[in-house]
Structure 1
Amino acid sequence: MKPDNSHNPFLKLKVRNLFVRGLLLSLGFGIALGVLQGITAVKFNAQIVTLILYILIFGFLCLWSLEDFDRYGIDMKYVLGRVPNRHKWLPMVGLVLLIILFFLSAYLVSFYLLSLAAPTFVESVMRQVATSPSARTTSPPFYNLLAAIVYIIVAPITEEFLFRGIILQRWVSKWGIQTALVASGVLFGILHANVLGLTLFGIIMGVLYIKTRTLIVPIACHAFNNSLAVGMGLLSSGSKTTTSAANLLEQLRSSWWIGIVLMLISLPLLVRFLYRNWPRKDDLVPYLINSSHGRE
């Protein structure tokens, strides 16, 4: 039985509502935090505040989206799906390792090329990355625990739900599955510092969702990817925030060749994965296939 796209409830959803709601939540929680800080006269740790705001904004954004599901008759169990019997997890581990290699290579190469044209901009971006919330050996245990919870649990669940569970399926209904994959991947990349690396990451997570018809697989891969990132952060010396902008830029320019090597290793294999698993133009979103099987 082939699912009928005319009954696709994602035709009623609007991605722009997610952006508006995200902006409203950011402003609301930001103002509330500012008022609380003014009343208590307590200066909160900026990085801990960033992590807490992430949990609040993305958590409430997901809950708000679930209200839409009730309104439009979208069954969450068909969005989540079920892991296929005897799913091969070991290749997923290799896939994530390749993604990390490409992520590092894209960071080194893209920022090196950008540094040649706009060194001041690259210095500012690298400073932001260096001071962004992440687990480090020199950080307090509570902070590292909170960062690990955000990156390993909260981020994979909320981001996969929003980007693959909602945005991808909505845009498939609007533009077709191949265009939606690329567009949702680009959006995912734009919202992160490493645009090239995270764009490919978003596309691959979308392909995994379409192929397996369950969000559990991309959530698990996303969590494993972030676990490795947190682990590398804990193994680092934690001294990068004290390095001058000039030294950071010099380190980047001296490491560009490593990025080329890593890209030559990872990119062909990732392209091969996408080529072998790229969906056909007439493929349907996981929700429609899952719901049709549920009615049979």
Structure 2
Amino acid sequence: MFEQMKIRYLVALSVVSFIILLIFTMGIGLSEEFFGIAANIVLYAIIPAIFFGYYFNKYPNSDRKFISFRGVKSWIPAVTGIVLASIALSLSTFWLLVFVLDPILPSFVDFLMTEVPMPTNPLYLAIEILTITILGPIIEEFVFRGVFLHRFMKKTSMWGGILISSILFGILHADMIGAFLFGVIACLLYLRTGNLLIPILMHILNNTLAVLAAYLPASWLEVVTVASREEIADKAGTMGVLLIISSIVTIFIIIKLSKGLSKKREEAAQTLEISSQ
């Protein structure tokens, strides 16, 4: 199914939709918050509904086994551990990024460390939280681990698809390094299990914990977060240790998930080719 979906169509649809949204909102003078509401609805509801709806209708008999509740329960402990390791790595790689950039680009570091305030409008806040915790993870997994991964694998190789789709995923996030590695693990999880629901659940858990941390601040979080430029050097020891440990764990996870995966996919492809003859 995903192999037939054209990336250029998705990009074109997104660009046209946002141009229409900008023209419409500028014409009626919507506030910034209501523009945010409209943008979330367009990006995470209307565009996916049009794009995926078109292909699902075009190929009604295609294999839909890419998402299933079967076998998910057994992966919950592993997914939870992966998310915790991913969060630790994201926090420490962000520290490493600002640590390196602070002497040469202090203004950019200030920009990176500027806290983005949550919306005050109740409707916007509710939609924002829903988007971050549920809609965003679902749509992003369908796009990056579904469309992008399969299309780039078809044009390059398994690892080519994993790396290119994960780089694009990382570019669209503030924590580029952490998001890139998260994308690699999500790709491997999907390819290992053949079930997109597992990386979706991992993504939902990751984002939900991030939202909870923002709204339920805990004193222990202060130890592993850098909130100002002054703390970059002060927390070098703690963050350095966290970086080393989380990096080792992440490398182990990637090796474990990728072990024998290329051979497994080659055998599956050969079996499919034989059965289709």
TM over 0.5, yes or no?
A: yes
| Aligned AA (1:199) | F
Aligned length: 262
Residue of 232, 247, 255 corresponding to 1:267: 247
1:43 is matched with which residue? 31
Contact 2:192 2:261 in 1 (8 A): no
| CA positional deviation for 1:81 | 4.1
Match for 2:132: what amino acid? Answer: Y
Let me know the Cα RMSD of the aligned residues.
3.0
Q: One-letter code of the match for 2:189? A: L
CA deviation map 1:91-132 (0-9, x unaligned): 2111111110001111111122122221122222333xx126
1:14 and 2:1 correspond: no
Would the alpha carbon gap of residues 74 and 231 (structure 1) be closer, same or farther in structure 2, given more than 3 Å must change? farther
Aligned to 2:43: 57
Cα distance in 1 for partners of 2:208, 2:161 equals 28
CA contact (8 A) 2:93 2:243 kept: yes
Tell me the TM-score normalised to structure 2 length. 0.82
Deviation at 1:55, TM superposition (A): 3.0
Matches within 5 A, 1:146-161: 146-161=127-142
Instruction: Supply the distance in 1 between the matched residues of 2:215 and 2:175 (Cα, whole angstroms).
Output: 20
- The separation in 1 between residues aligned to 2:133 and 2:207, in whole angstroms, is 6
Asked if 1:216 corresponds to 2:197, the answer is yes
Q: Unaligned regions of 5+ residues in structure 2, if any?
A: 219-226
Residue in 2 that maps onto 1:203: 184
Partners in 1 of 2:239 and 2:41 — Cα distance?
32
Change (3 A) 1:81 1:18: same
Q: Which amino acid aligns with 1:225?
A: N
Distance 1:44 1:14 in 2: 32
Aligned identity (percent) is 24
2:3/2:150 contact within 8 Å kept? no
Considering Cα pairs closer than 8 Å and 6+ residues apart, tell me whether 1 or 2 has the greater RCO. 1
Q: Distance in 1 between matches of 2:48 and 2:62?
A: 14
Structure 1 position 284, deviation (Å): 4.0
Instruction: Name the CA distance, whole Å, in 2 between partners of 1:204 and 1:36.
Output: 44
1:131 to 116, 121, 125: 116
Assess if the C-alpha contact under 8 Å between 1:12 and 1:72 holds in 2. no
Q: Check the 8 A contact 1:209/1:218 in 2, yes or no.
A: yes
